[in-house]
């Protein structure tokens, strides 16, 4: 059960947290509201500012430096729109800067983009007008006008050329075209069989080329399969290792070393032969002794097998002498 003291503490905690949260919000808002700003104006004459609203961004070379504070129509000239912008205090805006109405990517969001400006130009003071640039609509309209002028010029040139050619020349040209067409039809009619035969031959060649292409493609596929197999890759790797080893090795030095090793081996075998010949009798005697030892061991093993008690009490003769007899 919650006591009165716990309720008081909970209420106090909530109240203090709410006050701190409100203070934090006020501090953030005050930082934005009371931040030093410079005010400038832009005047657009007969240019649509559709898409611009209060709070829209103002950028200079892609960097956001402020926002639009107000948009209004000039009471003295209804074809003129005055836009009030606020930028960060101390932002250097030159007199030759232009304020264009731009669009962010494909979103269609409009903003004011300040472009241009040189170091040699004077700096505008806050409260002055920034020279207006072009809007996207104005640029499109200008390009459309240029295209229209070029099309009109092209049509005028065609009309002029048509007027320079008289009717007699046009008729002559048409007559020559008709005669050429009739001659072509006659040639086609006379050589119809040959043309059909040639076309059939071309079809057969095309079919053969298609079959050959399929076969070549299949062979290439098989070759690629063989080349990409693990066996070929391992073989190529081994050949590469052997080649690398042979390149590093000195072949002549290796051959000389093998010759020297063969000579030393022959010498060792000769010495072994001499030793075996000189110690032949000793070796024979040693072999006889080993044979005797083996026979003794076999005899002992047989006796143990016949009478295992020998291992415990030792061996006794079959007819021991009477110890009591003198």
- CA–CA separation, 65 and 86 (whole Å): 8
Dihedral of the alpha carbons of 316, 317, 319, 323, in degrees to the nearest 10: -60
- Output the pTM of the full model: 0.37
| Structure token digits, residue 217 | 């493609």
- pLDDT of residue 84 exceeding 90, the answer is yes
Q: Show the DSSP H helices in 228-250 as ranges.
A: 230-248
Cβ count near 137 (within 10 Å): 14
Percentage of the chain with pLDDT > 70?
77
> What mean pLDDT comes out for the span 23-47?
79
The pLDDT-based confidence of 325 (bands split at 50, 70, 90) is very low
The per-residue pLDDT of the chain, averaged, comes to: 77
Map residue 44 onto helix, strand or coil. strand
pLDDT tens digit sequence for 235-289? 777 777 776 766 665 666 767 777 887 788 777 777 777 766 776 777 777 777 7
The C-alpha angle with vertex 84 and arms to 79 and 85, in degrees rounded to 5, equals 140
- Among 142-146, 254-258, 293-297, the range scoring the smallest mean pLDDT is 142-146
Give whole-number Cα distances, 210 to 77, 206, 214, in Å: 77, 6, 6
> What mean pLDDT comes out for the span 110-130?
89
- pLDDT of residue 309 exceeding 70, the answer is no
The residue that leads in pLDDT, 89 or 293, is: 89
- Domain residue spans of the chain: 37-138, 167-229
The pLDDT-based confidence of 314 (bands split at 50, 70, 90) is low
- CA–CA separation, 93 and 127 (whole Å): 12
């Amino acid at each position: 059960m919650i006591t009165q003291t716990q309720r008081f503490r909970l209420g106090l905690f909530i109240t203090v947290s709410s006050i701190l949260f409100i203070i934090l919000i006020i501090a953030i808002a005050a930082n934005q509201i009371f931040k030093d700003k410079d005010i400038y104006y832009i005047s657009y004459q007969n240019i649509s500012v559709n898409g611009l609203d209060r709070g829209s961004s103002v950028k200079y070379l892609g960097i956001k430096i402020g926002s639009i504070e107000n948009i209004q129509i000039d009471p003295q000239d209804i074809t003129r729109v005055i836009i009030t912008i606020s930028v960060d205090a101390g932002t250097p805006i030159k007199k030759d800067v232009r304020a264009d109405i731009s669009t962010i990517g494909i979103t269609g969001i409009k903003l004011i983009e300040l472009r241009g400006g040189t170091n040699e130009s004077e700096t505008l003071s806050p409260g002055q007008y920034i020279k207006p640039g072009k809007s996207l609509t104005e640029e499109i309209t200008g390009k459309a006008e240029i295209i229209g002028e070029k099309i009109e010029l092209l049509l005028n040139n065609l009309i002029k050329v048509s007027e320079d050619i008289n009717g007699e020349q046009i008729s002559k040209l048409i007559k020559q075209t008709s005669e050429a067409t009739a001659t072509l039809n006659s040639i086609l009619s006379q050589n119809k069989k040959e043309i059909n035969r040639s076309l059939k031959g071309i079809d057969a060649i095309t079919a053969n080329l298609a079959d050959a292409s399929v076969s070549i493609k299949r062979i290439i596929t098989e070759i690629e399969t063989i080349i990409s197999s693990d066996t070929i890759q391992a073989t190529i790797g081994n050949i590469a290792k052997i080649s690398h080893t042979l390149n590093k090795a000195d072949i002549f030095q290796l051959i000389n070393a093998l010759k020297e090793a063969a000579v030393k081996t022959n010498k060792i075998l000769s010495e072994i032969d001499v030793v075996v010949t000189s110690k032949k009798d000793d070796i024979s005697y040693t072999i006889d002794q080993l044979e005797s030892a083996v026979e003794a061991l076999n005899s002992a093993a047989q006796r143990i097998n016949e009478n295992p008690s020998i291992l415990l009490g030792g061996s006794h003769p079959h007819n021991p002498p009477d110890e009591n007899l003198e």
